[in-house]
């Protein structure tokens, strides 16, 4: 089996947008609607404002995650692993790569919003040292939102 490689990419690249669309479809199946209506632009993930990473197995993109500045924090967005790639530790590697990227850019912590219909995400974040914080951002006040942070 080929090695999984994590690399920085442009958020607006066509292959990346196909993976993001798969992510949004997964969220839509869990929550209904369009999945995630948070306003996002490619500029959010362009250094020094942030970064967008993908995991590739050969030519196939199997996971994504990005961070964008939120004050002194890095806000994690679009964390996703394809169904076929789940259970291989890819998400944990992506999370570590995001933390490393954000720390190198001077961010003090990573913050994120996830939801109560994503138990595997909640388990990953909690096992990686994230703790609950007051809700923030686009989904603050929504019943199903769960917000987390981890100091870098």
What residues does each domain of the chain span? 4-151
Q: What value does the mean pLDDT take over residues 124-147? A: 89
Q: How far apart are CA 82 and CA 144, in angstroms?
A: 22
36-95: per-residue pLDDT in tens?
667 788 999 999 999 999 999 998 999 999 999 999 999 999 999 999 899 899 999 999
pLDDT value at residue 134: 94
pLDDT bin (cut points 50, 70, 90) of residue 129 is: very high
How much of the chain, in percent, has pLDDT values that exceed 70? 94
pTM (predicted TM-score) = 0.90
Least Cα distance to 45 among 109, 101, 115 occurs for 101
Write down the architecture of domain 4-151 according to CATH.
Answer: 3-Layer(aba) Sandwich (3.40)
Burial 64-83 (b: 16+ CB within 10 A, else e): bbbbbbbeebbbbbbbbbbe
Tell me phi and psi for residue 76, to 5 degrees.
-75, 130
pLDDT bin (cut points 50, 70, 90) of residue 140 is: confident
């Amino acid at each position: 089996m080929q090695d999984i490689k994590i690399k920085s990419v442009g958020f607006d690249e066509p292959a990346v947008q196909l993976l993001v669309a798969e992510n949004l479809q997964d969220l839509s199946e869990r929550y209904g609607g369009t999945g995630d209506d948070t306003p996002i632009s490619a500029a959010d993930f362009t250094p020094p404002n942030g970064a967008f990473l993908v995991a590739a197995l050969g030519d196939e993109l199997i996971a994504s995650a990005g961070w964008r500045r939120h004050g002194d924090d890095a806000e994690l967005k679009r964390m996703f692993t394809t169904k076929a790639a789940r259970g291989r530790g890819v998400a944990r590697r992506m999370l570590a790569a995001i933390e490393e990227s954000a720390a190198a850019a001077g961010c003090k912590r990573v913050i994120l919003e996830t939801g109560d219909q994503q138990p595997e995400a909640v388990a990953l974040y909690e096992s990686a040292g994230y703790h609950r914080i007051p809700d923030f951002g686009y989904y603050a006040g929504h019943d199903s939102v769960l917000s987390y942070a981890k100091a870098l």
